[in-house]
Structure 1
Amino acid sequence: MELLTADLPVEIDATLTYTSRAPYTLCLALRLLEADPVVWHLDREMVLTGSYAPTGAGELQLWPAVGDGLLLRLGAPGRCATLRGDRDQLTGFVRRSFLVVPPGTESRHIDWQPLLDTLSS
């Protein structure tokens, strides 16, 4: 993944993960130099939508780039970073997550018991 700067794009280490325990989201961990990773949680459907049309608001926005890219703006306006990822890799990852947890079945994978315990105490 590239961090887009005013001068040149900077390649950064980005790791995308998915677990059925958080069925709606992808976890994007970004590491720059030796610092601890910065972690963002991205909605699966939003990543797909952003691959063909602008989507998002506030601290997370996605839109297609010219060519084969997908642009992500992360952070508050005025204090944000814009990243460019490979659209096919990102959407392919989302589609593979749909094999683990199909769209529309996400709520079946959430452990609601901790919330119910809190509400009943």
Structure 2
Amino acid sequence: MPKLPAAQLPSPRVLSRSIAVELLTEDVAVGVETTVSYTSRDPYALSVLFHIPGDVPVLWRIDRETVLAGSLAATGEGEVRVLPAPEGKVLLRLGPAGHCAMVRCVREELSRLVRDTLALVPQGTEERHIDWQPLLDSLRR
């Protein structure tokens, strides 16, 4: 089967930013160093890397639309929920109910980051940034 010419992909665009988050326990809020990254090659998701002292970093992938919507009203399902919180904060519930981590961060900081990703890859243009060729190649085998 002949190989179809690959569509020209836009140059990859990447954003990475440290943000202040607090892991909420029953007794105390603990600051956790956190890096949020975004790449136009995976345009629908944010990669959130929690640097846990003395442990292996924990990576969560969160839909950027869920983050943006969750800053206004509770949203998400399954293992990722985003909820507005008092005093200009947002809560991220990560993991299954009953065995989850609650993380709190500043709403405006997280919203600004998502808006910056939308400047890199506007809503509705995401599919133009995905390299589909590896998947197509694997299906041809």
| TM interval, short-chain normalised | over 0.9
Larger-Rg structure: 2
Alpha-carbon distance in structure 1 between the residues aligned to 2:118 and 2:48: 17
Alpha-carbon distance in structure 2 between the residues aligned to 1:9 and 1:70: 14
Alpha-carbon distance in structure 2 between the residues aligned to 1:46 and 1:77: 18
Q: Deviations over 1:38-83 (max 9, x none)?
A: 0001111110100000001110001100111000000112211000
Alpha-carbon distance in structure 2 between the residues aligned to 1:73 and 1:62: 6
Q: Deviations over 1:74-119 (max 9, x none)?
A: 0112211000011000000000001111111000000000111111
Alpha-carbon distance in structure 1 between the residues aligned to 2:66 and 2:51: 22
From 100, 114, 117, the equivalent of 2:137 is: 117
In the TM superposition, residue 34 of structure 1 has moved relative to its aligned partner by 2.1
From 83, 104, 125, the equivalent of 1:84 is: 104
Q: 1:58 and 2:110 equivalent? A: no
Letter in 1 for 2:22: E
Q: TM-score, normalised on structure 1?
A: 0.97
Provide the secondary structure at the position in 2 that maps to 1:67.
coil
Provide the secondary structure at the position in 2 that maps to 1:18.
strand
The 5-angstrom pairing of residues 33-72 of structure 1 reads 33-72=53-92
Alpha-carbon distance in structure 1 between the residues aligned to 2:37 and 2:97: 26
Unaligned regions of 5+ residues in structure 2, if any?
1-20
2:52 aligned partner: 32
Runs (4 or more) in structure 1 with deviation over 2 Å come to none
Identical counterparts, % of pairs: 50
Letter in 2 for 1:34: G
Unaligned regions of 5+ residues in structure 1, if any?
none
Letter in 2 for 1:12: V
Q: TM-score, normalised on structure 2?
A: 0.84
Two-structure CA RMSD over aligned residues (Å)? 0.7
